[in-house]
Amino acid sequence: MNIKETTENYRPVSWPQEGVAGQTGSWRSMRPCVDTDKCTHCQICWIFCPDAVIDRETTSINYTYCKGCGVCAHECPVNAITMVQEGAED
């Protein structure tokens, strides 16, 4: 059984949406960048993201709500996600 099969029953606790704090992505100083060549689509980043801003299928990140906490980069088993300075080129 692979990781994708074991995550079929998982659902995020919340969905990214504008709340009383507004679009919270403006808070970050660092942002995660996904290297799609290294990514194995194991979905571990999706499972651990506390803000549920990672798309499960495409591993794209919703920067409108991503706070740049770095949990996804820390948990990625193949180091496909790196944290870069906000405003820096990919």
CATH of the domain at 60: 3.30.70.20
**Which residue's entry shows tokens 């193949």?**
78
Of the pLDDT bands very low, low, confident and very high (cuts 50, 70, 90), residue 24 is: confident
Q: Is the residue at 56 inside a domain?
A: yes
Residue 8 lies in a domain: no
What percentage of the chain reaches a pLDDT higher than 70?
Answer: 73
H-assigned helices in 1-90: 3-6, 44-48, 71-75
User: Is 28 or 3 the better-scoring residue by pLDDT?
Assistant: 28
Range of the structural domain that residue 61 is part of: 23-90
Domain count of the fold of the chain: 1
Give 5 or 82, the one with higher predicted confidence: 82
Q: How do 81-85 and 30-34 pair as beta strands?
A: antiparallel
**Residue 52 in this model has a pLDDT that exceeds 80:** yes
Burial 47-59, CB ≥16 within 10 A → b, else e? bebebbbbebeeb
- Read off the pLDDT of residues 31-46 as tens digits, 9 standing for 90 and up: 999 999 999 999 999 9
